[in-house]
Amino acid sequence: MLRTLLNRHPALAICGETRFCGDVYRRRWAFGNLNNVKNRRRLIEQYLSTQRIAQLGFDVASLRERLLPVATSYRELFSGMLRCYAEGQGKERWGEKTPHHAFFTETLCEWFPGASIVHLVRDPRDVVASLLRMPWAPDSILNNAWMWLLFNRAARRSRHRSAYLLVHYETLMAQPEQELARICAHLGEDYAPCMLVAEEPADGPYSWPRHARGPITRERLAKWREQLTAEEISLIEWAVGRDMPTYGYHRSAASPSIRAIARVLGWAAFDPVRMQVARFPYLCYYLIRPTNLAAQEYWKYRRVWETTATFSGLPSWNRPRK
């Protein structure tokens, strides 16, 4: 939602989730030095063949031709993509939103001195209630709560930088114009009223991108009170309660019973194993052929795609490559 709001600004082009640092930069040991044109060509071909890139709306052929001569480092590959995205919208300033990049904010700040970090935080109980409905997220209450904890701790490590800005989802929903003006001032831009002009929801298999393009509403605030049981709330607060006040949130439930904690810890231990078994081909590709990004993506998200489309209807770039 925040990415969509900022992307409407006439001066800002904020790209969707590239997962560049996790999918590409973390595999630099496998792809090698990009000064080598063979390595560079292999990486670009693999990365641009993924569904993720296709969903971001790039003209893949043009992007490939643009990157091949200039992407002599991982920094230049990343920035080249985002410049291309911005130019496609007729804008000069660019940014990107990938939740996993919270773990790479210091690296990104070293790559791009002066870059702004906008850290959006939401009530962990609402986050867990939302994640439990996502086909790609864990089924475990605790694992989703710990995900909130780890991601926010990672992003907060850059709070010492003057370019870091903490934004609360609840404040943005309640006072969108004032909060967007504050964010724009941090970015060195004037607030633009067009940022709050809702768009027509785009067709797609998932509901959350459609919601993000709609009007700002308070309807989704504190939905955890309706969607979670008292025990689930107490378990979430038990897991992350120590960090909640850091972000302005406070406990509302009594401590869970020892029996409830034991039960949920058992499921939290089993759930990752269950997910890894379901993704076993992905693990094989990651270990044996780490540069085959399209095949890894297919096997990692196959079960999610099954919930939204039949295999016969999947585009060819979703299928694993030999």
Tell me the two tokens of residue 128. Answer: 């867990």
Min mean pLDDT across 39-43, 59-63, 303-307 is at 303-307
> Which of 49-58, 113-122, 212-221, 309-318 ranks highest by mean pLDDT?
113-122
Is the predicted pLDDT of residue 257 greater than 90, yes or no?
Answer: yes
What confidence score (pLDDT) does residue 136 get? 82
What confidence score (pLDDT) does residue 317 get? 38
> pTM to 2 decimals?
0.88
**Quick one: which H or E segment has residue 95?**
strand 93-96
Nearest to 18, CA basis, from 45, 72, 68, 57:
57
Return the number of other C-beta atoms located less than 10 Å from residue 266's C-beta.
Answer: 11
C-alpha to C-alpha distance for 118 and 116, rounded to whole angstroms: 6
Min mean pLDDT across 17-31, 50-64, 74-88, 115-129 is at 50-64
Share of the chain above pLDDT 90, in %: 73
**Quick one: which H or E segment has residue 80?**
helix 74-88
Q: Which is more confident, 302 or 189?
A: 189
Please compute the mean of the pLDDT values over residues 69-79 and round it to a whole number.
Answer: 97
Cα-Cα-Cα-Cα torsion 122, 91, 201, 22, nearest 10 degrees, comes to -50
What confidence score (pLDDT) does residue 299 get? 86
Please compute the mean of the pLDDT values over residues 95-122 and round it to a whole number.
Answer: 96
Please compute the mean of the pLDDT values over residues 314-320 and round it to a whole number.
Answer: 40
Q: Give the chain's largest Cα–Cα span.
A: 61
- 222 SS3 class: coil
The domain 113-278: what is its CATH number? 3.40.50.300
Under the banding of pLDDT at 50, 70 and 90, the label for residue 48 is: very high
What confidence score (pLDDT) does residue 300 get? 87
Is the predicted pLDDT of residue 12 greater than 80, yes or no?
Answer: yes
Query: What's the distance, CA 184 to chain centroid?
Result: 21
**Quick one: which H or E segment has residue 265?**
helix 258-278
Residue-averaged pLDDT of the chain: 89
What confidence score (pLDDT) does residue 262 get? 95
Task: Confirm if 107 and 21 have CB atoms less than 8 A apart.
Answer: yes
DSSP state of 174: H
pLDDT digits (tens, 9 = 90+) for 113-168: 999 999 999 999 999 999 998 888 888 999 999 999 999 999 999 999 999 999 99
- 15 SS3 class: strand
C-alpha to C-alpha distance for 246 and 253, rounded to whole angstroms: 18
pLDDT digits (tens, 9 = 90+) for 166-217: 999 999 999 999 999 999 999 999 999 999 998 776 555 455 565 677 778 8
Q: Percentage helix, strand, coil, to 5, in the chain?
A: 60, 5, 35
Backbone torsion region of residue 54, taken as left when φ is above 0, otherwise alpha when ψ lies between -120 and 50, otherwise beta: alpha
Please compute the mean of the pLDDT values over residues 240-267 and round it to a whole number.
Answer: 95
Is the predicted pLDDT of residue 74 greater than 90, yes or no?
Answer: yes
What confidence score (pLDDT) does residue 315 get? 42
Nearest to 100, CA basis, from 209, 208, 6, 21:
21
Q: Which is more confident, 274 or 189?
A: 189
